[in-house]
């Protein structure tokens, strides 16, 4: 049974109102994703208490990568503090929040073609060091599939990084797969998929829309996940408020996220609450 979750990102913080709305709507799994500058001062003990009070499991944290010149661990120009910073976040996430998955971007962009092999090799050096820390807490490092020229932009590049350490896992982001179909990606990466970021997109760029608002083949996604035996968390990474690229007069509710998940799981056409704006540009 796939549990429905939500990625709380940006400047948002978990409070009793949000947690209460989540649990009332059937959403009981949380991913915490903060800007790098906010993690050190965040009261994670309070966050853990609020989640527990409402029956919510904090299943994962997303390690920050921006600004890339400081925190991209596969970028040779990143500061010497990048790895210690990430390691400290893993420890705090596991010890205080009890997370089991640590989601990371292997590398940002722009990335030139001639740099890619070297960056994969650097990922093979750095990510196992993070896996060493996570393993002590029974957690794993999940490399997120990324769009455009980012490192980890397709199954071949993801698999090239996974070969360096059998403990590494993958975060399936349905919003980021452009160089192959979502179905092919899932089948190729297979059981290495340990967690998800769920949202929809168009053929131009990532959009973080609700499933059914874009071009992702959701029946194919569910069929492929069934084939590989994935029954773990289904974590939405789409804001409740309308995105700038979508036309919707109100915010979504957590109950509507849960309903969307059940429709996708049942291979039904998801209820539409909005429509994309016409003639959307690359970076709108």
Q: What is the pLDDT of residue 1?
A: 76
Task: Write out residues in the chain with pLDDT < 50, as ranges.
Answer: none
Span 98-108, pLDDT tens digits = 999 999 999 99
Span 150-160, pLDDT tens digits = 999 999 999 99
Q: What is the pLDDT of residue 176?
A: 98
Is residue 97 a contact partner of residue 47, using CB atoms and an 8 Å limit? Answer: yes
Span 71-85, pLDDT tens digits = 999 998 899 999 999
Q: What is the pLDDT of residue 195?
A: 98
Q: What is the pLDDT of residue 69?
A: 86
Structural tokens at position 181:
């179909």
Q: What is the pLDDT of residue 9?
A: 87
DSSP string, 152-182: S-SHHHHHHHHTT-TT-EEEEETTS--SS-H
Q: What is the pLDDT of residue 13?
A: 84
**Domains defined for the chain, CATH in brackets:** 4-276 (3.20.20.150)
**Euclidean distance between CA atoms 105 and 110, whole angstroms:** 14
Structural tokens at position 222:
């569910």
Q: What is the pLDDT of residue 65?
A: 87
Nearest Cα residue to 99 out of 145, 13, 33 = 33
Its pTM stands at 0.97
């Amino acid at each position: 049974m796939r549990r429905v979750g939500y990625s709380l990102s940006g400047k948002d913080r978990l409070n009793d109102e949000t947690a209460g709305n989540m649990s009332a709507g059937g959403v009981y799994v949380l991913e915490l994703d903060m800007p790098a500058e906010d993690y050190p001062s965040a009261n994670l003990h309070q966050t853990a208490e609020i989640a527990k009070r409402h029956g919510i499991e904090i299943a994962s944290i997303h390690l920050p990568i921006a600004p890339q010149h400081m925190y991209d661990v596969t970028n040779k120009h990143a500061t010497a503090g990048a790895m210690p910073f990430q390691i400290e976040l893993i420890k705090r996430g596991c010890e205080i929040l009890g997370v089991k998955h640590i989601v990371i971007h292997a590398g940002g962009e722009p990335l030139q073609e001639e740099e890619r092999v070297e960056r994969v090799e650097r990922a093979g050096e750095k990510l196992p060091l993070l896996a060493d820390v996570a393993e002590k807490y029974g957690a794993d490092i999940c490399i997120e599939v990324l769009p455009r020229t980012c490192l980890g932009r397709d199954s071949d590049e993801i698999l090239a990084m996974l070969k360096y350490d059998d403990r590494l896992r993958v975060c399936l982001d349905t919003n980021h797969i452009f160089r192959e179909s979502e179905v092919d990606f899932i089948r190729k990466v297979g059981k290495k998929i340990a967690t998800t970021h769920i949202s929809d997109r168009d053929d131009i760029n990532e959009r973080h829309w609700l499933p059914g608002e874009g071009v992702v083949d959701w029946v194919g996604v569910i069929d492929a996940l069934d084939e590989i035996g994935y029954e773990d968390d289904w974590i939405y990474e789409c804001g409740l408020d309308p995105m700038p690229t979508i036309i919707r007069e109100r915010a979504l509710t957590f109950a509507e996220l849960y309903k969307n998940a059940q429709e996708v799981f049942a291979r039904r056409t998801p209820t539409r609450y909005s429509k994309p704006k016409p003639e959307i540009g690359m970076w709108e």
